[in-house]
Amino acid sequence: MFSGVINLQRILQPTTGEAANIVVPELHNLLKLDPYLDAYQDEIRRRYHVFQKILKQLENEEQGIDNFTLAYKHFGIHVNHQTNEINIKEWAPGAKAMYIRGDFNNWQERQYSFTRDQWGVWRVTIPPLSDGSIAIKHGQAINLLLETANGELVDRICPWSRYVQRAEKATVYRGVFYNPPHDEIYQFKYSQPKKRDRLKIYEAHIGISSSKEEVFTYENFRINIIPRIVKQGYNTIQLMAILEHPYYASFGYQVTSYYAASSRFGTPEELKALIDEAHKYGLTVLLDLVHSHSSKNIVDGINMFDGTAGCFFHGDTRGYHTLWDSRCFNYMEREVMRFLLSNIRYWLEEFKFDGFRFDGVSSMLYHSHGIGHQFSGSYVEYFGLATDTDSFNYLQLANYVCQTFFPESIRIAEEVSGMPTLCRPIAEGGAGFDYRLAMAIPDLWIKLLKEKKDEDWHMGHLTWALLNRRSSEKNIVYAESHDQAIVGDKTIAQWLFNEQIYSHMSVFSERTNTIERGLAFHKMIRLLTYALGGEGWLNFEGNEFGHPEWLDFPRVGNNESYKHARRLFYLSDDENLRYKYLNVWDKAMNDLEEEYKWLSAKNTLIIQQIEAHKIIVFERGERGLMFIFNFHGHNSLSDYRIGCSQSGKYKVVLNSDAKSFDGHDRISNEQIFSTENIMWNDKPFSFQIYTPSRTVFVLALIDDNK
């Protein structure tokens, strides 16, 4: 075993003998896709060489990355089922002594003493009881007891704990010895889906997925929410807040225990059953993985684990995230690398997750963490000294582990700066992600709704913003983020309907101008984003039907209330409320994409964007889909000619003005549009349409062979 910081100076300056063995990235394709990268070839090669050198070191010193990433099977607390001994192994280089205590020994302090090796790894074996049974029983509370360098005894939770809990009325968590009987360990029944493109993601938080004022459970989500997701036409679930986090209101982003599925929702076996149920329906399940930072909690987190400010984190100012009030990992420390890469493998292997959404990638990639950093798009920002290339190399390793041992896995980066190569193959010198989140688009919509009058919305700016992405790197697009649902902010529905969201959403209520506009724009904003903005689509639960309430987790400021820490799904099921129409529209969008597969199309073509008319027309997909948007507040256009690139007959396949979507039925779904050989908008064919104000409708070529 080797422990300690990898020698980057030696990596960056290979010896003469090593130089002949350097594997270089395949830059030809990368430079062809983006010629602006030519000036930064040396930096791309340097990053790739560091990555390759780390792999080589792991091969020589750790028996390879396969063995290295299986550390979760021997670090932490494990039972030898042949002897019933308990073997415990922990890394705490700054500690003077280590012990284990808990319910099993009445919390005696120094009964079981660990021994330390030269790398700061501590071990102890707890023999079975006199009757041959395991000394610690399943479910008993346990903690590590460490003596720090100054002689202080401190309780710590094992960083590799599979289960941690907070006792009733307690303020901190304790480790739990998790060793269920064999017949209680969940056995997976269904195969995982193959890697898919055209992701239609339903982003969900287990705890808030109830209409009641409660913390929902894995089991309830499995039974009640998965069928709803399937019915809506999504093919992927993205689960938030799974890694244990004592502060519920952190939305899961202040993690303390990286190997423990949050106990507030149930047991690890119940989470496995949930994932297996999703696989039964053919759904892909992604985990929101938080490796970008860690909670600064000490007693129930990994901060100050061995009594020092370093250990898992940088020990200086680099180890602190001032905006998030959290700690930042030292990714190039060998044992930190082991801990995090093994964590990736643990969730994919033990729980059968199908991939990850990596949280906070922008924060990782820059020394500034993006705080006050207005990214200009200059390549100097991406390949200069502002970039934290330790983090970039860690992300390469993380993606390498995923694609090597789980080739069907999917990886999405939450990244806002637009760093080139992030979603290019590692072999090209990229980070290896499949997608990045199109994070600027939700901000665009909120800015328009908050600051601009409808007549000031610029159609050209809208289409430019939605199309402004690297053609060689895929994006997951979304119209609004989960952050906008949190108290203090507003969702799109809240901006559109204002206070009338509470008073005028009944089908029997007056259809005011606010309601009229809100219903129209809620449908149009979502479809324009979905159809033009990326290669995958994401919706946060509740937004599909215009959820009327913000999210506010129980806290002192609201008297620990769960009133707003929930999702009111019954609103979309009520035939007397207009939420049902927005919900049906959501399903119709997913169904249409499933039929015509525009997310994987390469041929998006803007036909026209007319400011005076507030018209946007574009084609996307191989089967002649035409999207026609009229954002004008009152101007409906008759005999309006639009160009198209394919001749034939077109039919209406989706229409926001249909009665089924609470529209005015001004467009006949039975109408057929035949092209004429009249050039228009620089296209060889054209036809005339009627486009009502504040509507979108989609046309598709009729296949005469069907």
Q: Which residues are catalytic?
A: 359, 414
Structure tokens, 39? 């000036």
Three-class DSSP labels, 131-176: CCCCCCCCCCEEEEEEECCCCCEEEECCCCCCCEECCCCCCCCEEE
DSSP 8-state class, residue 129? P
Task: Sort strands 320-321 and 605-610 into parallel, antiparallel or unpaired.
Answer: unpaired
Nearest to 526 by CA among 461, 474, 592: 592
Q: Distance (Å, rounded) from C-alpha 386 to C-alpha 368?
A: 7
* CB hemisphere CA count around 450 (13 angstroms): 11
Q: What's the maximum distance between 2 C-alpha atoms anywhere in the chain?
A: 93
Using DSSP's 3-state secondary structure scheme, residue 47 falls into helix
Would you say 356 and 289 are in contact if contact means Cβ atoms under 8 Å apart?
yes
* Helix (H) or strand (E) segment spanning residue 260: strand 257-261
Would you say 577 and 504 are in contact if contact means Cβ atoms under 8 Å apart?
no
103 CB-near residues (< 8 Å, 6+ apart): 137, 140, 141, 142
Nearest to 698 by CA among 645, 647, 648, 654: 654
Structure tokens, 635? 């101007």
Helices (H), ranges, 288-366 = 334-350, 361-365
Tell me phi and psi for residue 482, to 5 degrees. Answer: -65, -25
Tell me phi and psi for residue 329, to 5 degrees. Answer: -70, 150
Would you say 158 and 90 are in contact if contact means Cβ atoms under 8 Å apart?
yes
Q: Distance (Å, rounded) from C-alpha 193 to C-alpha 359?
A: 23
* Helix (H) or strand (E) segment spanning residue 50: helix 41-61
Helix axes 440-451, 459-467, angle to 10 degrees: 160
Would you say 428 and 25 are in contact if contact means Cβ atoms under 8 Å apart?
yes
